[in-house]
Amino acid sequence: MRARLMDRVATIVLTLIAALIIGTLIGLLGFILTQGWHKLNLDFLTSPPDIVNAGGGIGPQLFNSFYLLVLTMLIALPIGIGAGIYMAEYAPDNKFTQFIRMSIEVLSSLPSIVVGLFGLLVFVNMTGWGYTLFSGALALTVFNLPLLVRVTEDALRNVPRSQKEASLALGITKWRTIVSVILPAALPGIITGAILASGRVFGEAAALLFTAGMSSPNLNFADFSLNSPTSPLNPFRPAETLAVHIWKVNSEGLTPDARDVADGAAAVLIIAVLLFNVSARWFGTWVYKKMTSGSN
């Protein structure tokens, strides 16, 4: 009787905790979206911001956020996946491997503002690049590497050992086994982790304040040069992202509708991060079903 009572109490408490978490999330998202929903239109998403007058948009900031995301993932994915493969398939169980794991854990626990200060020192000052998109991408690569390494390693370790052993028994080399057998089987987990990391990149602000800068030139979207200061594709230009723009408008905004602009930008940012998370789960499940149906 006592055991049943304790089981019922524990079930009720855990259910209430889950409901509290879900309610807090729904309340937070609902408040942000209702505050900024009235600003979500094509003109707001495509027009540049106005420093003095009301009615500015977030066009360059939104483009900068997506461009920075692409640059960051182009740098971080090969390094993160390569490190994950090494940790899962090649690294021996010794003190050096333990040191690597400890370093990854320490790196993952660093506040983003510390990563930003490191990027300011190394990628901005020491290189002489100044505040650039590329500096921000390198700083966010440092920020996201622990997640990518852990996700890749876990996905590779979750592949059934029998698949690896069957491939090796056929005389296939270890590297070929990793590329043709283990990596495809682990692909859904790796893709899910990569999309979640993309969401973190899109919403990051603190590290970018010191690396990518808090301003953006007037972009000429007809100019596709990689060295023009007004070209949107130039990675060595300053770039204010959407998250940084929200902070800047809230703290330094001079326009009469600064609060409305910040609310609208926050709503866009929340929607983008939600889409990243939902698409990560959907795409990972879709790839897994495709692979399992193909193998059958």
pLDDT, mean of residues 137-145: 91
Residue 90 has pLDDT above 60, yes or no: yes
Q: What is the pLDDT of residue 68?
A: 92
Of all residues in the chain, the percent with pLDDT exceeding 70 is 97
pLDDT (0 to 100) of residue 192:
81
pLDDT digits (tens, 9 = 90+) for 1-20: 777 888 888 899 999 999 99
Q: What percent of the chain has pLDDT over 90?
A: 21
What integer pLDDT is reported at residue 106 of this predicted model? 87
pLDDT at site 296: 54
Q: Span 40-295: which CATH code?
A: 1.10.3720.10
Exposure string of 111-143, with b = 16+ CB inside 10 Å and e = fewer, is: ebeebbbbbbeebbeeeebebbbbbbbbbbbbb
Q: Is the pLDDT at 286 greater than 70, yes or no?
A: yes
pTM of the model: 0.85
The amino acid that residue 113 corresponds to is: I
Per-residue pLDDT, averaged over 136-141, amounts to: 93
Confidence of residue 294 (pLDDT cuts 50, 70, 90): low
Query: In sequence order, which residues have a C-beta less than 8 Å from that of residue 193 and are 6 or more positions away?
Result: 147, 148, 150, 151, 152, 155
